[in-house]
């Protein structure tokens, strides 16, 4: 378990705009940063990052949190994993302390990570330092023109011919066979455990945080009964559908280029990287999944798929590309010349020529699909009708109405068919698909991508709105002072500076106030405890709170989607009258508004009781009602003077 001191150091060291800026294209907006939310599909940026408060908030889907919560949500990590990732990024040494209640599942995952890391070191050591590794593995990589630098960057390795070389190495190091088998590195046989990847060159597979989760192995001999490539099986740390090979090395450049190149194999990725084209990832030979598409969408909405010219293979991948369109991404296709694939092309051309080729040869998917299928349907009316239906079905998956319209217009020209005919077919498909499709996709998006339940503050009714405002004032302005005026017992005017938080807490404690909203009451109790020692809790106490309800509530209060421009005074000579300029009015009116609303509800409660009360109980209730109405009028008068002053 990570000590509290180390956790506090990680929170204080990690810069949220730096961490989020690695995966989201952020633009400066006043004192904050703004970008497209990585947790839901949006066209207009509503994702705000506040460096001063070290928090983020999306005003589209409502998700928010601190820097650790972002890493947890974005990289699908547990709390300890997110802390370790940030500690590694900022070179903070973590000293673990023993906790008998440490989560068993997390401990098992850490054991698997430890085994895969040991395997990576073993394979790289074999490649560079054993005679067999150098003669077979290293010579293979050198034949593919991989430089030593790129081999080390991707941590490539070699697994020797001996059937249990790694298994025996791990056992001698004290690793349990159960974890060797769960990670897929060893396979149990009747005569003992053997290595899964023996006699293969090794491609370690990194997750988005850079940890090894699995391996790919390529056999170098010509044995027909063995697969050319072999991958790790599914495990607690490796889920093929959630992994893109090379994403850890590509994500920064994907953001810079605002485009992701998608290829098929490991060597395609590595060769393009070596050629200077590093915004490239691979699905590792598997069919593209929605989870992989969403991984890419975190960094860019533009994806360019690079093919080696095999028409049959391209058509087989159309379903995967339709999934990309359905996720609202822009898809382009590049075909390499006959006999070339991304790997061979990258090894024979300089980086600029590769980029120029991709740029010049890329075609948007709908146009590409139309041209490709049109050649097959030429002269056959039935095939042509099927082609039109297939093209329109793809266009119908695009969520953006304007983009759909543009594609319909372009296909009308390409297919020489009336635009209205295509629109009619499109509407038919949309009517057929929309109800079921939207329900399922929306439910999946909410379940998969929004990691915390957000309190719908805008829907809080009754007195909770006033309670929310009081806590917001405490958080935003608690440490600020204003001059408070009053009349002493001798009827003499007095004034003195007072901190906003002390004024509010003193007033509410005098009323013995208890908040109706449970989370707001928890936050209030933090302030009342601090008040006893004449201190005011820092924002970070709540932002980094272990209770996600408190953390989410506070972040909602601290981040606003609107910001008054500093240029109004400079450009127009207009002084903006904001909350900080009117702190005294804000604080006092917030307290009086809460009191007034509380009294209104007490009055309403008595009025309801009077409808069914017995005669003997009417007089006490009427007296209470009269007292409350007089108090209501007095507070209303004071509140009106505060507002109008």
pLDDT digits (tens, 9 = 90+) for 55-111: 898 888 888 888 988 988 888 777 888 888 898 888 888 766 655 554 577 778 888
What is the structure's pLDDT at 411? 86
What is the structure's pLDDT at 206? 93
d(CA 186, CA 167) in angstroms, rounded, equals 6
What is the structure's pLDDT at 452? 27
Helix 464-477 with 500-510: angle, nearest 10 deg? 140
Could you tell me which residue, 83 or 570, shows the higher pLDDT?
A: 83
d(CA 614, CA 624) in angstroms, rounded, equals 16
Q: How large a percentage of the chain has pLDDT more than 70?
A: 86
* 231, containing H or E segment: strand 229-231
β-pair partners for 96: 2
* pLDDT value at 425 more than 70: yes
pLDDT level of residue 448 (50, 70, 90 thresholds): very low
Whether residue 365 contacts residue 325, with contact meaning beta carbons closer than 8 Å, is answered with: yes
Interval 186-209: pLDDT, tens: 998 888 889 999 999 999 999 887
What is the structure's pLDDT at 445? 33
Whether residue 603 contacts residue 625, with contact meaning beta carbons closer than 8 Å, is answered with: yes
Interval 291-344: pLDDT, tens: 888 888 877 889 998 887 666 667 667 777 888 888 888 889 888 887 788 888
β 260-263/229-231 pair status? unpaired
pTM tops 0.85, yes or no: no
| N- to C-terminal Cα separation, the chain | 55
d(CA 236, CA 99) in angstroms, rounded, equals 22
What mean pLDDT is predicted for residues 28-36?
85
d(CA 5, CA 94) in angstroms, rounded, equals 10
What is the structure's pLDDT at 603? 82
What is the structure's pLDDT at 450? 27
* pLDDT value at 435 more than 60: no
* pLDDT value at 26 more than 60: yes
What is the structure's pLDDT at 270? 94
d(CA 380, CA 21) in angstroms, rounded, equals 52
Could you tell me which residue, 394 or 216, shows the higher pLDDT?
A: 216
Q: Domains, the chain, ranges and CATH?
A: 4-89 (3.90.580.10), 104-238 (3.90.980.10), 256-361 (3.40.1360.10), 362-451 (no CATH), 457-644 (no CATH)
Cβ neighbours of residue 498 closer than 8 Å, sequence gap 6 or more: 481, 482, 483, 484
What is the structure's pLDDT at 645? 45
Q: Taking every pair of C-alpha atoms in the chain, what is the biggest distance, in angstroms?
A: 105
d(CA 314, CA 318) in angstroms, rounded, equals 7
What is the structure's pLDDT at 509? 85
pLDDT level of residue 441 (50, 70, 90 thresholds): very low
* pLDDT value at 451 more than 50: no
What mean pLDDT is predicted for residues 262-283?
92
What mean pLDDT is predicted for residues 236-244?
89
d(CA 1, CA 53) in angstroms, rounded, equals 26
What is the structure's pLDDT at 460? 34
* pLDDT value at 572 more than 50: no
pLDDT level of residue 574 (50, 70, 90 thresholds): very low
pLDDT level of residue 130 (50, 70, 90 thresholds): very high
What mean pLDDT is predicted for residues 533-557?
83
Closest residue by Cα to residue 501 from 482, 521, 522: 482
Could you tell me which residue, 136 or 446, shows the higher pLDDT?
A: 136
Q: What is the residue-wise DSSP string for 544-558? A: T-SSHHHHHHHHHHH
Closest residue by Cα to residue 71 from 243, 208, 235: 208
What mean pLDDT is predicted for residues 220-242?
85
Could you tell me which residue, 625 or 237, shows the higher pLDDT?
A: 237
Interval 331-377: pLDDT, tens: 898 888 877 888 888 888 888 888 888 888 888 888 888 877 777 77
Interval 132-144: pLDDT, tens: 999 999 999 999 9
Return the minimum-mean-pLDDT range out of 7-16, 103-112, 565-574.
565-574
* pLDDT value at 442 more than 50: no
* pLDDT value at 456 more than 50: no
β 27-29/32-35 pair status? antiparallel
d(CA 362, CA 331) in angstroms, rounded, equals 10
Q: What is the CA radius of gyration of the chain?
A: 32
Q: What is the residue-wise DSSP string for 573-636? A: -PPP--TGGGHHHHHHHHHHHHHHHHHHHHHHHHHHHHTT--GGGHHHHHHHHHHHHHHHHHHH
* pLDDT value at 475 more than 50: yes
* pLDDT value at 256 more than 50: yes
Whether residue 637 contacts residue 592, with contact meaning beta carbons closer than 8 Å, is answered with: no
* Average model confidence (pLDDT) across the chain: 80
pLDDT level of residue 594 (50, 70, 90 thresholds): confident
């Amino acid at each position: 378990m990570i000590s509290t001191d180390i956790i506090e150091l990680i929170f204080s060291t990690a810069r949220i705009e730096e961490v989020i800026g690695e995966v989201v294209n952020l633009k400066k907006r006043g004192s904050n940063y703004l970008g497209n939310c990585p947790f839901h599909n949006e066209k207009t940026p509503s994702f705000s990052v506040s460096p001063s408060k070290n928090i983020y908030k999306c005003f589209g889907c409502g998700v928010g949190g601190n820097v650790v919560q972002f890493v947890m949500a974005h990289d699908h990590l547990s709390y300890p994993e997110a802390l370790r990732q940030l500690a590694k990024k900022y070179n903070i040494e973590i000293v673990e302390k023993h906790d008998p209640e440490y989560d068993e599942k997390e401990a098992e995952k850490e054991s698997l990570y430890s085994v895969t890391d040991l395997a990576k070191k073993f394979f790289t050591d074999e490649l560079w330092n054993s005679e067999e590794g150098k003669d077979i593995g290293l010579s293979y990589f050198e034949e593919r023109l991989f430089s030593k630098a790129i081999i080390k960057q991707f941590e490539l390795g070699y697994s020797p011919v001996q059937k249990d070389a790694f298994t025996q190495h791990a056992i001698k190091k004290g690793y349990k066979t159960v974890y060797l088998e769960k990670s897929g590195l060893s396979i149990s046989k009747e005569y003992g455990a053997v290595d899964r990847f023996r006699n293969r060159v090794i491609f370690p597979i990194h997750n988005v945080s850079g940890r090894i989760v699995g391996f790919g192995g390529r056999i170098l001999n010509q044995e027909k009964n063995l697969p050319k490539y072999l991958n790790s099986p599914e495990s607690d740390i490796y889920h093929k559908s959630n992994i893109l090979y090379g994403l850890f090395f590509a994500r920064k450049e994907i953001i810079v280029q605002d485009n992701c190149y998608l290829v098929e194999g490991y060597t395609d990725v590595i060769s393009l990287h070596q050629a200077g084209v590093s915004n490239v990832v691979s699905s590792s030979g598997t069919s593209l999944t929605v989870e992989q598409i969403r991984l890419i969408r975190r960094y860019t909405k533009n994806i360019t798929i690079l093919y080696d010219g095999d028409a049959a293979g391209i058509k087989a991948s159309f379903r995967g590309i339709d999934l990309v369109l359905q996720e609202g991404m822009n898809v382009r296709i590049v075909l390499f010349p006959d006999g070339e694939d991304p790997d061979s092309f990258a090894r024979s051309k300089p980086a600029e020529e590769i980029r120029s080729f991709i740029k010049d040869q890329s075609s948007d998917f709908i146009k590409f699909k139309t041209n490709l299928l049109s050649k097959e349907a030429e002269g056959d009316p039935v095939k042509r009708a099927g082609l039109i239906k297939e093209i329109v079905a793809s266009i119908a998956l695009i969520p953006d109405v304007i983009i759909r319209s543009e594609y319909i217009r372009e296909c009308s020209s390409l297919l020489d068919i009336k635009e209205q005919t295509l629109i009619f077919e499109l509407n038919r498909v949309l009517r057929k698909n929309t109800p079921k499709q939207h329900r399922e996709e929306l439910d999946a998006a909410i379940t998969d991508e929004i990691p915390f339940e957000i309190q719908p503050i805008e829907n809080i009714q009754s007195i909770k709105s006033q309670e929310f405002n009081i806590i917001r004032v405490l958080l935003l302005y608690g440490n600020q002072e204003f001059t408070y005026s009053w009349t002493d017992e001798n009827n003499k005017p007095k004034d003195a500076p007072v901190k906003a938080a002390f004024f509010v807490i003193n007033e509410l404690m005098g009323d013995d106030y208890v908040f109706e909203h449970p989370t707001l009451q928890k936050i209030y109790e933090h302030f009342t405890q601090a008040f006893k020692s004449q201190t005011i809790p820092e924002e970070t106490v709540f932002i980094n709170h272990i209770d996600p309800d408190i953390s989410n509530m506070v972040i909602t209060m601290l981040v606003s989607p609107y910001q008054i421009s500093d240029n109004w005074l400079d450009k127009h000579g207009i002084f903006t009258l904001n909350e900080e300029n009117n702190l005294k009015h804000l604080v006092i009116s917030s307290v009086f508004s809460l009191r007034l609303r509380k009294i209104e509800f007490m009055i309403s409660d008595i009025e309801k009781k009077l409808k069914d009360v017995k005669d003997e109980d009417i007089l006490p209730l009427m007296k209470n009602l009269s007292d409350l109405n007089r108090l209501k009028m007095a507070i209303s008068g004071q509140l009106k003077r505060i507002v109008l002053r």
